[in-house]
């Protein structure tokens, strides 16, 4: 077994004892990137090899700062990372090099991470398909003619292809859950506020997106989550969580989970998606976890309308500086312009109604969690689609009325900030991966990760690696 075959927890344990040096780890990382990244385009803005090896040697010569000490990390290209181009996939920002880190990036740096570059993302993170005019598309390692998902597609592929041991991701509309499912790895969307956003963000009006960890095991994600998470006095709604690393072993037998399926037929699904997920549910039975069918628990159209209104409202705020600049506006992608203009056209009455629906769904979800420990749903409604598509336009004969309607299955967790782990669910007939969401009550992140850890020990799907050259 080589270093790239290890998960992060095992590798760091060897680094902590001195059995493996940071220089050796960096060499293995850069060699792997050189061998396979050209096939998938997951790592972008890669820094100079000699400089990175020198930083690794310096890490070997200094006391350990934290769990990430000396570990090569590529940060998602939606997060500001000091000294490294942070483009958000936009031509407008292609030359932007931040002078400071976003908060969670600074926490990772303080824990000893060596930042080697970025992982690719869609322009401004919009759409669950990682392609942008700065770096081009990121390809699925299980079939390079297909999408890797997004917006954390670069991170998902980097993990699956052995170029990274652990990654950060972010999630508004399944942005780390969908690529985890499509790349046969793990992703965790934490409860809103557990991983605070950057200090310059508005949190009161737009609590939809959050950063979180991705990895080849829940244990890896737990260790990174301990670094990313925790309250900051400058950031409203942020809070401290429990210690995650070392606390994932728990008895899950006797728990109950609710299978949402296709939300009573409201979510159209490509052939084989639901069947693959339902076949995977047998693993819960093997673990002594009871799976109960959960009928559509809330009007799907109400939930969707509230979601797209709140999302458009948020996009209108985040993209405004570029849209309002007449020099930059022509460089905005069509979907971003549509969503921003839609958000600006919303009335206060519409925004308040969307917020009221969100509150009603939170109350209804609380009733569900009184009966089950978690809710289960697919991570996507379609299999990875051709790389030259912008998005699926039809599923099972039903036209998609927006560029993101095909990801409707992720919004029940997103809209009310629930913790959700994406776990591999196996492979379909075409050999493509699919995933499941394990969704828990607000602030019950540890419980969700404990179920995910039991799942991992029973399945270990990431051991089925993609057959890339090199």
- Token look-up 């009928």 returns 295
- d(CA 56, CA 59) in angstroms, rounded, equals 5
Q: Where are the domains of the chain?
A: 3-463
> Which strand (E) or helix (H) includes residue 448?
helix 445-459
- d(CA 395, CA 335) in angstroms, rounded, equals 20
**136 CB-near residues (< 8 Å, 6+ apart):** 41
Q: Which two tokens stand for residue 185?
A: 């790895």
Predicted local distance difference test score (pLDDT) of residue 202? 86
Where the chain has pLDDT below 50, the residues are: none
Q: Which two tokens stand for residue 462?
A: 């990431």
Going from the C-alpha of 149 to that of each of 33, 254, 351, 363, the distances in angstroms are 20, 34, 29, 31
Dump pLDDT digits (tens) for 369-396. Answer: 999 999 999 999 999 999 999 999 999 9
Q: How many CA atoms are closer than 13 Å to the CA of 470, on its beta-carbon side?
A: 19
Q: Where are the beta strands (DSSP E) in 60-165?
A: 72-76, 114-119, 139-140, 143-147
Contact 437, 410 (CB under 8 A): yes
Going from the C-alpha of 120 to that of each of 151, 162, 403, 423, the distances in angstroms are 8, 16, 20, 21
| Coil, helix or strand at residue 332 | coil
Predicted local distance difference test score (pLDDT) of residue 470? 78
Number of CB atoms found within 10 A of residue 418's CB: 26
Q: Using CB atoms within 10 A of its CB, is residue 331 exposed (0-12), middle (13-18) or buried (19+)? A: middle
**209 CB-near residues (< 8 Å, 6+ apart):** 170, 171, 172, 175, 197, 314
Predicted local distance difference test score (pLDDT) of residue 241? 98
C-alpha closest to that of 59 among 24, 14, 105: 24
Predicted local distance difference test score (pLDDT) of residue 295? 95
Residue 420's beta-bridge partner residues?
189, 439
Q: Is the pTM of this model over 0.85?
A: yes
Predicted local distance difference test score (pLDDT) of residue 1? 80
Dump pLDDT digits (tens) for 293-335. Answer: 999 999 999 999 999 999 999 999 999 999 999 999 998 989 9
- Calculate the CA 409 to chain-centre distance: 15
Q: Domain 3-463 sits in which CATH superfamily?
A: Amidase signature (AS) domain (3.90.1300.10)
**197 CB-near residues (< 8 Å, 6+ apart):** 102, 103, 104, 203, 209, 210, 211, 235
> Which strand (E) or helix (H) includes residue 282?
helix 282-286
């Amino acid at each position: 077994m080589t270093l790239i075959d290890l998960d992060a927890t095992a590798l760091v344990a060897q680094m902590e004892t001195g059995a493996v040096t940071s220089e050796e780890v960096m060499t293995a990382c850069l060699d792997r990137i050189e061998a396979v990244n050209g096939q998938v385009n997951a790592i972008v803005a890669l820094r100079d090899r000699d400089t990175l090896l020198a930083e690794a040697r310096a890490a070997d010569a200094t006391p350990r700062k934290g769990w990430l000490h000396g570990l090569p990390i590529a940060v998602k290209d939606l997060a500001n990372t000091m000294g490294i181009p942070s483009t958000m996939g936009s031509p407008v920002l292609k030359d932007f090099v931040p002078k400071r880190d976003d908060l969670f990036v600074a926490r990772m740096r303080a824990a000893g991470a060596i930042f080697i570059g970025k992982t690719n993302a869609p322009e401004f993170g919009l759409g669950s398909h990682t392609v942008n005019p700065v770096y081009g598309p990121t390809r699925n390692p299980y079939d390079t003619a297909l999408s890797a998902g997004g917006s954390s597609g670069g991170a998902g592929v980097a993990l699956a292809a052995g170029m990274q041991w652990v990654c950060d991701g972010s999630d508004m509309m399944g942005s780390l859950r969908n690529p985890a499912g499509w790349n046969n790895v793990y992703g965790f969307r934490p409860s809103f506020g557990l991983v605070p956003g950057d200090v310059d963000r508005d949190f009161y009006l737009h609590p939809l997106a959050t950063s979180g960890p991705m990895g080849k095991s829940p244990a890896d994600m737990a260790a990174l989550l301990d670094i990313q998470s925790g309250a900051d006095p400058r950031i409203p709604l942020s809070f401290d969580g429990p210690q995650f690393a070392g606390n994932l072993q728990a008895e899950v037998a006797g728990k109950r989970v609710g299978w949402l399926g296709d939300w009573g037929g409201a979510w159209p699904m490509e052939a084989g998606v639901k069947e693959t997920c339902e076949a995977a549910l047998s693993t819960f039975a093997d673990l002594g976890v009871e799976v109960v069918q959960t009928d559509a628990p809330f009007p799907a159209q109400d939930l969707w309308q509230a979601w797209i209104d709140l999302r458009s409202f948020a996009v209108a705020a985040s993209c405004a500086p570029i849209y309002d600049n007449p020099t930059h506006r022509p460089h905005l992608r069509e979907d971003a312009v549509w969503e921003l203009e839609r958000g600006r056209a919303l009335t206060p009455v519409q925004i308040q109604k969307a917020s009221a629906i969100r509150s009603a769904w939170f109350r209804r979800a609380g009733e569900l969690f009184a009966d089950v420990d978690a809710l289960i749903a697919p991570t996507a409604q379609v299999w990875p689609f051709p790389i030259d598509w912008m998005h699926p336009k039809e599923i099972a004969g039903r036209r998609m009325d927006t560029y993101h309607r095909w990801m409707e299955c992720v919004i029940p967790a997103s809209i009310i900030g629930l913790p959700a782990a994406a776990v591999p669910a196996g492979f379909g007939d075409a050999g493509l991966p699919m995933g499941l969401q394990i969704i828990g009550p607000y602030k019950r992140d540890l419980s969700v990760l404990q179920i995910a850890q039991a799942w991992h020990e029973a399945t270990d799907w990431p051991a089925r690696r993609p057959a890339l050259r090199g």
